[in-house]
Structure 1
Amino acid sequence: MIIETEHLIIRDFQEKDAVGLLEYLSHPRVNCFVSERLCSEESALAYISNTPKELLRYAVCLKEDDFIIGDVFALREEADTFNVGWHFNQRFEGKGLAHEAATEFLDYLFREAGARRIYGFVEDDNLRSKRLCERLGMRYEGCMKEFISFVCHPDGTPRYEDTCIYAVLNKEWKNNKNR
């Protein structure tokens, strides 16, 4: 799969992506990705080669030099429903690149993968991801209080996260694109 945008290429992962992947996943900025922390180029290569078959996961690269700056992913939960997410390198924030990539990825899921509904979970304190969902036209559907724990407090007890849900239907996506 290859999607080209004005500034980006969204494509399958390649071995050369290991260095860039390590750069942004060596210290995941949100707790839900703590289990994906990478500590070496070898672990980044393993991450690339061990993508579960049911997960659509693609590298987001700069068009000018094909350097990976993030990734987008989706899990098909029902025949027509996808749970989506993304990681982006902090070094490239504030340039609209995450919005550009996520817009094209969601469009791909609606057009090519038969999505009727796309939703994402966002930790309540992840303001950048919440804003991205809103810019994409995703509707805030609610916040589950103390929904899940990814990390522990210093005393070893679980730290539960408040988790928001954002979603968009295919018909809403089409209406938003026509405006």
Structure 2
Amino acid sequence: MKITVDIPVIETGDLVLRGYRDSDFEAFAAFGRSPRASYVGGPHTRWDSWRAFMAGIGHWALRGYGMWMIEHRDSRQVAGRVGMILNDGWNEPELGWHIYDGFEGKGLACQAALAARDHAARHFGLDGVISYIDASNTRSLRLAERLGAQYERDGTVVGTPCQVWRHPRVAQPTAQPAEA
């Protein structure tokens, strides 16, 4: 029996944000082994990456939102992940992103994060969310600023010190009908 999880597809100029495929795992595991994964609790063993990959799918099933796989439209290669996560012990949902080797410095993380943030605000009610960012992760700090997020406070995530950045609200409040 195969259980399906409904993960919406979002398309931008250069990207397709979509659900998980078996064929995505090798790129996912390669990121997990890399030193860049140190900002997300890595580097990870292949087994740890597999569990994280499965958890990404399970997050959608349990919460109704999660992280999308980022596919580069022209090359059809997996370029990373982006989306909303709320893990056990976290204060509130987070907008997170991981860009895989070879896709950095092209504006793809910004494009993906803006699309994910907009969709989450408009369709999941997740607006004005946070990002947990390691203070030494200068690339993510610059991206948060580019996205209009502002430093809110120091915090911890999974026992690790981090900075908490607050994203601007995206969705316009629903206008109240005028009283007669």
TM-score (norm 1): 0.74
Q: Distance in 1 between matches of 2:132 and 2:49?
A: 24
Cross-structure match for 2:83? 73
**Structure 2: tracts of 5 or more residues without a match:** 1-7, 173-180
Contact 2:83 2:117 in 1 (8 A): no
Q: Which amino acid aligns with 1:69?
A: A
Give 1:24 shift: 1.4
CA contact (8 A) 2:32 2:42 kept: no
Larger mean Cα displacement after TM superposition, 56-65 or 67-76 = 67-76
Distance in 1, Cα, partners of 2:158 & 2:54: 27
Aligned to 2:163: 164
Q: 2:27 aligns with which of 17, 20, 36?
A: 20
Higher relative contact order (CA 8 A, sep 6+): 1
Deviation, 1:139, is 1.3
Q: Taking every aligned residue pair, what percent have the same amino acid on both sides?
A: 23
**What is aligned with 1:125?**
136
* Aligned match of 2:36: 29
Report the RMSD for the aligned CA atoms in angstroms.
2.6
Amino acid at match of 2:162: T
Stretches of structure 1 lacking an aligned partner (at least 5 in a row): 151-160
Asked whether the 8 Å contact 1:15–1:45 carries over to 2, the reply is no
Instruction: Give how far 1:48 is off.
Output: 3.0
Kept in 1, the 8 Å contact 2:85–2:96? The answer is no
Structure-2 change in CA distance of 1:135 and 1:20 (3 Å):
same
Cα gap change, 1:116/1:174 in structure 2, threshold over 3 Å: closer, same or farther?
closer
Provide the secondary structure at the position in 2 that maps to 1:92: coil
Contact 1:143 1:164 in 2 (8 A): yes
Offset from partner CA, 1:150-174 (integer Å, 9 cap, x none): 7xxxxxxxxxx5411111242xx35
1 CA distance for matches of 2:125 and 2:171?
13
TM-score normalised per structure 2: 0.74
